């Protein structure tokens, strides 16, 4: 991939291999909530390898996502920027399978930045940052165009509630349910029964191939987005039901990958982080996740939509069994990994929101953030400042999902907080103020008259922040029906056992 030298000004431009540079693994769950793990307080969820990451490493209580919904959250992780800065905003809020837009190629992802530091880069799992660009099946927005040289089993659109063969026909499933290897179709519609196992095998293969050089593995899971599924070894494994089965299966996958790291004796040179992209889809009732005692879920900037379960693991470097209360964000992954890899981030770049938390991971320093800014699309909703959360705009959320909890077919309107500007969104003047240390459930707003100086300080920070936002054309909602993925036109149905030859498995 050829990129202008000036584009790379924020990090060392000459590719190099830094002996001793740590390996990085980012596990990224889908719609998993703050209360979905035993170590975060769920009373019936079984303990698994994800919880063990906290026993052997660090658990974070105030880790915030880059957005409250899927596509923009993923964009913020890979670019270190808030979605508003890169055009990942708009009424739809996510890429649809037929959109011609994608993660802007002008953005230097963390994978591309680490390649310049001599890292091998790999990805398996859910993408959801664009598919085709000019013609059907050109794969112009897929991961290999954003710095991932190894791409195993991947789901360009993720998985959707239509990917349920018990409720939908093959034709209905084919529209949104498909699996790739690199840029080549494997299945349409998707059979997800073995998907976690296949992702794990690809992740192991990537680690084995690159165990003697620094590597970056990005592993975004399908769990626990609807439709819920489970492999035979995990169906019925949880007291919590099918959702708990999903958590157990995902946790097993994390354990398998970390065990591979241990088997190759590279654990003391490997940083692994587990987080979720956004809060749970509460409208799915028992088939959705849990925000615990936090208010709200997916789509909202209430704490339940943006405050994530998070674990960091790096034996010998991260203190074992630590619970960290510092306020950090998914956008910080960019600067953190780049710094640890020996890169040189431009600290004067106000358009990159990422800050290194390497000192936080070692329990040696406080959060580098004075403020975190939380958006719904291009609308600033709230600001986190120390222990305070200042909400200028909130989304109304019903707490009664009786009408949703039935054995039937859902639809896209089941997420009640997709909108950022309609009559379900409420502005507050003066804003709502919560002490999220004392009141993480956001039940008891503070009296703004007693916090005038603090509000003035935050309002000035908002003014300065907004001055750094450059209007950018939205890359979402650019529908082109001709770009609908179709592996065997016009049938759009396929199941290829050996889709390509370039990445055949090697013996472990």
Instruction: Please report where in the chains the tokens 């976690």 appear, as a residue.
Output: 196
Active site residue 465: no
Catalytic residue among 13, 42, 70, 428: 70
Both tokens of residue 24? 């990085």
Strand partners, 276: 29
CA distances to 38, 148, 402, 485 from 490, rounded to whole Å, are 47, 30, 41, 11
CB-based burial of residue 165 (10 Å sphere; 0-12 exposed, 13-18 middle, 19+ buried)?
A: middle
What is the Cα–Cα distance from 335 to 354, expressed in whole angstroms? 5
What is the Cα–Cα distance from 342 to 337, expressed in whole angstroms? 9
Residue 456, CB-side half-sphere exposure with 13 Å CA sphere: 5
Active site residue 285: no
Both tokens of residue 432? 């709502």
CA quadruple 162, 164, 169, 170: dihedral sign = positive
Q: What is the dihedral of CA 494, 498, 501, 503, to 10 degrees?
A: 100
What is the Cα–Cα distance from 1 to 223, expressed in whole angstroms? 32
Both tokens of residue 448? 């703004």
Catalytic residue among 128, 145, 146, 369: 128
What is the Cα–Cα distance from 492 to 488, expressed in whole angstroms? 5
Contact 123, 154 (CB under 8 A): yes
Angle of CA points 143, 473, 468, to nearest 5°? 100
Q: Which are the catalytic amino acids?
A: 70, 128
């Amino acid at each position: 991939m050829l990129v202008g030298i000036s584009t790379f000004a924020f990090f060392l431009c000459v590719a190099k291999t830094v002996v001793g540079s740590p390996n990085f693994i980012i596990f990224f769950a889908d719609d998993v909530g703050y209360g979905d793990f035993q170590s975060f307080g769920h009373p019936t969820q079984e303990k698994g390898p994800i919880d063990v990451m906290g026993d052997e490493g660090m658990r974070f209580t105030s880790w915030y996502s880059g957005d409250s919904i899927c596509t923009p959250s993923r964009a913020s992780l890979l670019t270190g920027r808030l979605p508003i800065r890169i055009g990942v905003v708009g009424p739809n809020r996510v890429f649809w399978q037929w959109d011609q837009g994608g993660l802007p190629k002008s953005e230097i992802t963390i994978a591309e930045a680490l390649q310049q530091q001599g890292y091998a880069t790999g990805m398996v799992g859910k993408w959801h940052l664009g598919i085709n660009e000019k013609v059907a099946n050109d794969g112009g927005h897929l991961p290999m165009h954003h710095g991932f040289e190894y791409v195993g089993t991947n789901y360009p659109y993720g998985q959707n509630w239509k990917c349920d063969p018990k409720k939908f026909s093959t034709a209905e499933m084919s529209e949104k349910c498909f699996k790739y290897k690199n840029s080549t179709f494997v299945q349409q519609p998707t059979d997800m029964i073995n998907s976690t196992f296949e992702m794990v095998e690809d992740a192991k293969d990537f680690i084995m191939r690159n165990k003697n050089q620094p590597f970056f593995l990005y592993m975004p899971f399908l769990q626990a987005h609807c439709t819920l599924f489970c492999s035979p070894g995990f169906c019925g494994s949880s007291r919590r039901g099918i959702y708990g089965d999903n958590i157990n299966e995902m946790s097993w996958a994390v354990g398998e990958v970390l065990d591979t790291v241990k088997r190759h004796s590279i654990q003391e040179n490997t940083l692994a982080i587990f987080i979720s992209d956004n809060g749970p889809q509460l409208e799915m009732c028992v088939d959705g996740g849990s925000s615990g005692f936090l208010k709200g879920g997916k789509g909202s900037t209430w704490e339940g939509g943006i405050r994530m379960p998070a674990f960091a693991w790096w034996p010998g470097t991260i203190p074992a069994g630590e619970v960290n209360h510092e306020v950090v964000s998914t956008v910080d992954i960019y600067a953190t990994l780049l710094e640890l890899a020996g890169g040189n981030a431009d600290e004067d770049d106000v358009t990159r929101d990422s800050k290194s938390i390497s000192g936080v991971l070692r329990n040696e320093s406080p959060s580098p953030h004075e403020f975190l800014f939380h958006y719904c699309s291009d609308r600033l909703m709230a600001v986190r400042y120390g222990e305070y959360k200042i909400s200028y705009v909130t989304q109304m959320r019903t707490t009664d999902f009786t009408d949703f909890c039935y054995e039937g077919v859902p639809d896209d309107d089941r997420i009640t907080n997709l909108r950022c500007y309609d009559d379900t969104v409420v502005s507050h003047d003066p804003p709502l103020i919560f002490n999220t240390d004392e009141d993480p459930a956001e039940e008891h707003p503070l009296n703004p008259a007693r916090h005038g100086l603090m509000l003035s300080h935050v309002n000035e920070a908002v003014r300065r922040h907004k001055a750094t936002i450059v209007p950018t054309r939205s890359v979402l909602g650019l529908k082109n029906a001709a770009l609908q993925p179709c592996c065997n036109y016009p049938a759009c149905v396929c199941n290829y056992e050996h889709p390509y030859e370039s990445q055949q498995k090697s013996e472990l």
